[in-house]
Amino acid sequence: MSGFDLTPPNAVQRAALEATLDEAERRVLLAHGTEAPFCGVFLDNKRDGVYSCRLCGLPLFRSNAKFDSGTGWPSFFAPYAPGHVRYVRDTSHGMVRTEEVCARCGSHLGHVFPDGPPPTHERHCLNSVSLSFTARGDALPDPLGRGGAEAAAAD
């Protein structure tokens, strides 16, 4: 158990969160789009901290699980906590892939592939616009005002 409240935002909260998104974020997070490779702001981020869902603030990945996959998108070998990411079969674009969505709000994050490094051999390939970054020691985002673990410092 991660200590984070995974209850989805209610309709009013969700509308308020969605109102903060720009066009690119809406296209990716809400319409399951993809940003172009090698352009995301977090691709080359080497700072220590936590990557969270851009929409609801749930921590998704730690910087110590990030690696350079050479694909053009930020890649991680393990999520922040197993229950923070949900997996959905994706048959779009004439192929079968595993889509990743935020377990709390359902926002599209990217896809996971079985070709990553040890110990998991997973490559969680994410869109930068799906994420926010909190430097180690700074308070994690808490856009839903839930407090508790939500207000903790990035580890």
Q: By residue range, what is the domain housing residue 101?
A: 11-140
Residue 2: is its pLDDT beyond 90? no
Residue 127 within a domain: yes
Q: How many domains does the chain have?
A: 1
pLDDT tens digits, one per residue of 28-87? 999 999 999 999 999 999 999 999 999 999 999 999 999 999 999 999 999 999 999 999
* Domain membership flag for residue 72: yes
Say what the pLDDT of residue 34 is.
94
pLDDT higher than 70, residue 94:
yes
Region 122-132: mean pLDDT is 97
Q: What is the 3-state secondary structure (H, E, C) of the chain?
A: CCCCCCCCCCHHHHHHHHCCCCHHHHHHHHCCCCCCCCCCCCCCCCCCEEEEECCCCCEEEEHHHEECCCCCCCEECCCCCHHHEEEEEECHHHCCEEEEEECCCCCEEEEEECCCCCCCCCEEEECHHHEEEEECCCECCCCCCCCHHHHCECC
Peptide bond preceding 9 in cis form (omega within 30 of 0) = no
- 87 and 99 in contact (C-beta within 8 Å)? yes
**pLDDT level of residue 153 (50, 70, 90 thresholds):** confident
Tell me if 5 is assigned to some domain.
Answer: no
Residue 92 has pLDDT above 90, yes or no: no
- Kindly state whether residue 145 falls inside one of the protein's structural domains: no
For the domain that residue 122 is a member of, what is the CATH number? 2.170.150.20
Q: Do the domain assignments include residue 35?
A: yes
Catalytic residue at 53?
no
**Looking at the predicted structure, is the pLDDT value of residue 1 above 70?**
no
What contacts 33, CB < 8 A, 6 or more positions away?
A: 27, 108, 127
pLDDT tens per residue across span 97-118: 899 999 999 999 999 999 999 9
Residue 1, in any domain of the structure: no
Contact 59, 52 (CB under 8 A): yes
**What pLDDT shows up at residue 52?**
97
- Whether 124 shows a pLDDT value over 80: the answer reads yes
Query: Does residue 58 fall inside a structural domain?
Result: yes
Domain assignment of residue 151, yes or no: no
Which one is catalytic: 56, 102, 105, 125? Answer: 125
By C-alpha distance, which of 107, 74, 101 is closest to 88? 101
- Distance CA(66)–CA(131), nearest Å, equals 13
Q: What is the per-residue pLDDT across 22-38, written as a single tens digit (0 to 9) for each?
A: 999 999 999 999 999 99
Whether residue 131 is predicted with pLDDT greater than 70 in this model: the reply is yes
